[in-house]
Amino acid sequence: MPDESASREVHEPTWWRRHLRENPALILTVAYLVLTVIGAIYNWRLCRRFGINILDLADGADFLMFAVRDFAVVAWAGFAIGIFAGLYALIAHLKAAPPKKRNVLMRTIEQQAKRSSPRVPAVVCTFWAAFWVFYYLDQYARTVAGAIKSGAGHACEYVLVDDSKAPPVVAQLVTTTSRFVVVYRVDEKATQVIPTQSLARLVFR
């Protein structure tokens, strides 16, 4: 007689498959929130290198837009999430294979799973991925900050409302929010936080 419990164990869908099938919109929402957190971390690390705390300048809507404003950040986020999801799916597939079709790798994963809770590798993988995402974002922010301070970043010109007849001021754009524009003056080696209502004109070069 076949073991019904073993059959149920083999064919029972994993939790992420159940959630993906039952709540696809929830999965997309969580994925976008992860991208938002990654974008916020990048902007936080970038602004810290100019002595600015982005948490004091950004609103909730700004944080939701951070994920889609920088292609490299979005690409890395998608890559990191894809690798994590792919590894988790591979492990789930290897564990769910029929006993007669399991190879050495599958049997090894099954033995490791029996010795420890399945939540342990999930937690370890999550923290490991979070560490490398943070490390990459910090290094990428350092590279971008170095380019800005050397004058090789995103150049812009601005004119203040209080001094609208003055010639445009040349600066390097650091970041923007709905209420502020953060620029770096290469000539003065100084960071300026300008309220958007104080700008008469802002032109990107």
Predicted confidence band of residue 31 (pLDDT cuts 50, 70, 90): confident
The 3 state secondary structure assigned to the chain is: CCCHHHHHHHHCCCHHHHHHHHCHHHHHHHHHHHHHHHHHHHHHHHHHCCCCCHHHCCCHHHHHHHHHHCHHHHHHHHHHHHHHHHHHHHHHHHHHCCHHHCCHHHHHHHHHHHHCCCHHHHHHHHHHHHHHHHHHHHHHHHHHHHHHHCCCCEEEEEEEHHHCCCCCEEEEEEEECCCEEEEEECCCCEEEEEEHHHEEEEEEC
Give residue-wise pLDDT tens across range 52-70. 999 899 988 888 887 777 7
Q: Which CATH class is domain 154-204?
A: mainly beta
pLDDT of residue 199: 94
Give residue-wise pLDDT tens across range 107-164. 666 666 666 665 666 677 677 777 877 888 899 999 999 999 999 999 999 999 998 8
All structural domains of the chain with their residue ranges: 4-149, 154-204
Predicted confidence band of residue 22 (pLDDT cuts 50, 70, 90): confident
Residue with more model confidence, 100 or 154: 154
